[in-house]
Structure 1
């Protein structure tokens, strides 16, 4: 039996996926979550074989951050990314963080079931329309020695926090400026560091400078 946790910020989407999957022999939906922290709690409690993970969840931890955290603590859990973005940048980053693959939300039901079965068996899955393009793009980047621009993975709010942190604003000042809590600022900073694969504040400042976010030269 393949147990599945569905993670999506839209209740209607979760309900539709649950109805589809519960009707399939050998599948059982063990739980649902609307954002990344809930997803981690569901995985910790239910220990599913597969997590269907939405990428964009603006009201909580996003799919990339949740994928990283889940794989860090539960490496045997297979994560299949659900996304509206036909964008290799997101796919490359998701796979780097431990996802087993990615499928578009508008894919046929049969393709989704195939993808779930595939990742549950420990195999990788790429949606067919993207496989060749992704491989060509990746090989081109390797040949040219170029790395992907992870800045595109940041949300608008995360970009705001990145720029303010790099300019030297304290968490309290950022919270007041953006009208959010200090705890939310800290969460955004953690997401930024994780997505950009940065370890220290000096690295963050250097990154922001190279992206032209500071408005002056170092």
Structure 2
């Protein structure tokens, strides 16, 4: 006797644009035997409440949810509800965001140009315990991994930091003020502040002491 078909994957959708939620709902509606959308949310708080209430198999969310971070949401879900998988579906074609997503426990990183069948295939693999990466990023990720192995990447690359953000963080760790960092890098203070905001967001901190603590904990600078 053949094994019974698995029940549909129970999925929560998270995006700050209602049009995106409607589009995903319509697209995945063509695969009722494989995916069941059990909830939709437009904020991180609403998404967390739905996960706690519904215990879905997976959550599909963007890297950015309005002014909120999908990466932070992913970290919260994977720590509080480890049985629920999180897949990032985004327009950010950037391996640094990918590395951050994997670091906070994401089971997948997929670009929004994907079609319905591909998305369902990826969700099936995630349900089976695999980690999926959009094929458009796969080659660059392999190259990045090779460079990391060869020691050719800058400190903090694996945390999603750009080379310039890494340089700024190193100077912060050394005790330089924003003005001092700007002088060292021959840049304006406004540019330095932009880099600092970027590295705060990627490290999941809100101030200089938090960023320095992460840098020291990760052993980024010797």
Indicate how the Cα distance of structure 1 residues 22 and 118 shifts in structure 2: closer, same or farther if over 3 A, else same. Answer: same
With normalisation by structure 2, the TM-score equals 0.68
- What is the CA-CA distance between 1:34 and the residue it aligns to? 0.8
Structure 2 residue matching 1:133: 3-state secondary structure = helix
Q: Does 1:19 align with 2:26?
A: yes
Indicate how the Cα distance of structure 1 residues 72 and 121 shifts in structure 2: closer, same or farther if over 3 A, else same. Answer: same
Contact 1:34/1:57 (8 A) holds in 2: yes
**Which residue is 2:62 aligned to?**
54
Q: Distance in 2 between matches of 1:207 and 1:28?
A: 39
Indicate how the Cα distance of structure 1 residues 205 and 95 shifts in structure 2: closer, same or farther if over 3 A, else same. Answer: closer
**Which residue is 2:36 aligned to?**
28
What are the equivalent positions in structure 2 for 1:2-151 lying under 5 Å apart?
2-24=9-31, 25-59=33-67, 61-144=68-151, 146=154, 147-148=156-157, 150-151=160-161
State the superposition RMSD in angstroms: 3.1
Contact 2:107/2:130 (8 A) holds in 1: yes
Q: Distance in 1 between matches of 2:26 and 2:205?
A: 41
Structure 1 residue matching 2:56: 3-state secondary structure = coil
- What is the CA-CA distance between 1:118 and the residue it aligns to? 1.0
Q: Distance in 2 between matches of 1:123 and 1:112?
A: 14
Would you say how many aligned residue pairs link Structure 1 and Structure 2?
Answer: 174
- What is the CA-CA distance between 1:8 and the residue it aligns to? 0.6
Among residues 192, 204, 207, which one is paired with 2:211 in the alignment? 204
Contact 2:34/2:120 (8 A) holds in 1: no
Indicate how the Cα distance of structure 1 residues 139 and 200 shifts in structure 2: closer, same or farther if over 3 A, else same. Answer: same
* Unaligned 5+ runs, structure 1: 153-165, 168-188, 209-218
Query: Which protein has the larger Cα radius of gyration, Structure 1 or Structure 2?
Result: 2
Residues 148-196 of structure 1: per-residue CA shift (max 9 Å, x gap) = 16456xxxxxxxxxxxxx97xxxxxxxxxxxxxxxxxxxxx9x976741
